Amino acid sequence: MRNPSCLAIILAAGDSTRMKSRRSKVLHPVAGRPMIVHVLEAISEAGVSEAALVVGRDADAIGAATAGTNVQVETFLQSERLGTAHAVLAARTALERGYDEILVTYGDVPLITGATLRAARTALADGSGVAVIGFEAANPTGYGRLMVKDGELLAIREEKDATDEERRIRRCNSGIMAISGRHAIELIAQVNNDNAKGEYYLTDIVEIARARGIATSVVDADENELAGCNNRQDLAAVERFWQERRRRELMLSGVSLIAPETVFLCHDTVIEPDVTVEPNVVFGPGVRVETGAVIGAFSHLEGAHVSADAHVGPYARLRPGSRLARDSKVGNFCEIKNATIGEGTKVNHLSYIGDAQIGSGTNIGAGTITCNYDGMNKNLTTIGSRAFIGSNASLVAPLNIGDGVIVAAGSTITADVPSNALAFGRARQETKPERANTVRKTSRA
Ligand code: UD1
Ligand code: CA
């Protein structure tokens, strides 16, 4: 059997007023990427490659945010917000191309998984004309209630139109549903706005379908997965659910998180099994940590590759372009940017290493600074293998320090140092016996 064709319609025309933001809420990030991109990712995981995105504002910015995903997105403007059925019909020209299945999702429900969307598609394959994703709400206030009898979905009643008895139902409509493409347009076209809100409710298609003998069903999912986002508090809750889910996945895959609730991951964070992450670590975008590495407490990583058995922190900051080879160590109060730290090399205390390449087995003393910026340009420092840079050295780039070099503590190094040389770049020490007493006598007088 051929794969059924499917169009996802993403509703995102809500005016976002409660976000009190200059931009559409679907552009706000969860785990470091826009909500709308999470939705597209789930759509893609459900095997769907085309989406119609219904927006009310920021069409260009939203369109731009969706570039680069696996889903081909066409944007439609719903200029008047007359309800969810009206919103779906804003994409009518896409619907009219004819698809076997239609998947309606919300741009502000970003944690929906590909697996749940797939389950709704499977319900269509099993004979439903409309398959609604539902959940058991801890507090159902505000949601449409699912009227289910003997396992069959009879209707969805919006809160404002429900009787007191119906409001006691806790099984609710997520708003996300799959609709048979064969029936979609005719069902939605039947919806009127004769209800408490005077809106065209997409939820009405359940009763319309049943009146025509078309089967309807519910696919249950977890409430947290279906959390929506109307204000900044919801946004923080959605972030928390995402973090909890990802931490759980990582721990089950073999990563030790000592205090998981204090570790913040990004959508693309990759951590291999047998890594230990201590408390209070923040991962920004683009981080990969290989097996056996330890990320010490209070470290902040972004755009960094930490190789096997390396040790970072506590209190380390790895900025974009940091590449730590096997067994290397970046210790407390060190900042690394666009730099390669070779195998077994140690940058243990209070250093700034930026725009640098350091070989293997080198020791960078406490307080060493690469002076990479001259006010105009960023310059490169290269340091060979098995070198020893004394404490509090300033390495003024561009600079080349060979293998096996020793740089004296406190040096300011401005010229290249060949392999195995000893370099001093500081005033020679002078010691005057008894002179301290003379100084004190003068001061007292
Ligand atoms: C809707 C459902 C309700 C469900 C709830 C889940 C209907 C009639 N009701 O209610 O059963 O429990 O979602 O959150 O469908 N949108 C548009 N254009 C519109 C109207 C809405 O794009 O004209 C978008 C919104 O941006 C939002 C989504 O559709 O992403 C849902 O709209 P919202 O107003 O939040 O629907 P509810 O009344 O909460
Ligand atoms: Ca809502």
Closest ligand 1 atom number to CA of residue 13: 22
- Which secondary-structure segment (H or E) carries 12? strand 6-12
Does any ligand 1 atom lie closer than 6 A to the CB of residue 201? yes
Distance CA 53, CA 233 (A): 25
Single-letter residue type at 10: I
Q: Is 307 helix (H, G, I), strand (E, B) or coil?
A: coil
Angle between the N-to-C axes of helices 35-45 and 59-66, in degrees from 0 to 180, rounded to the nearest 10: 50
Burial class (CB within 10 angstroms; exposed 0-12, middle 13-18, buried 19+) of 364: buried
Residue 214 Cα to ligand 2 midpoint, Å, equals 27
pLDDT tens, residue by residue, 128-170: 999 999 999 999 999 999 999 988 899 999 999 999 999 999 9
The active-site residue out of 38, 86, 305, 349 is 349
Does any ligand 1 atom lie closer than 6 A to the CB of residue 204? no
Name residues whose C-beta falls within 8 Å of residue 122's C-beta, 6 or more positions apart in sequence: none
Q: Which among 105, 25, 84 has a CA at the least distance from the CA of 57?
A: 25
Residue 122 Cα to ligand 1 midpoint, Å, equals 24
Residue 435 Cα to ligand 2 midpoint, Å, equals 80
Q: What pTM was estimated for this model as a whole? A: 0.95
Task: Tell me the residues surrounding ligand 2 (ion) with CB < 5 Å.
Answer: 228
Average pLDDT, the chain: 97
Nearest residue CA, atom 26 of ligand 1?
Answer: 14
pLDDT tens, residue by residue, 304-340: 999 999 999 999 999 999 999 999 999 999 999 999 9
Number of H helices, E strands in the chain: 10, 35
Residue 357 Cα to ligand 2 midpoint, Å, equals 52
Distance CA 401, CA 268 (A): 36
pLDDT tens, residue by residue, 386-403: 999 999 999 999 999 999
Query: Annotated catalytic, 86?
Result: no
Does any ligand 1 atom lie closer than 6 A to the CB of residue 108? yes
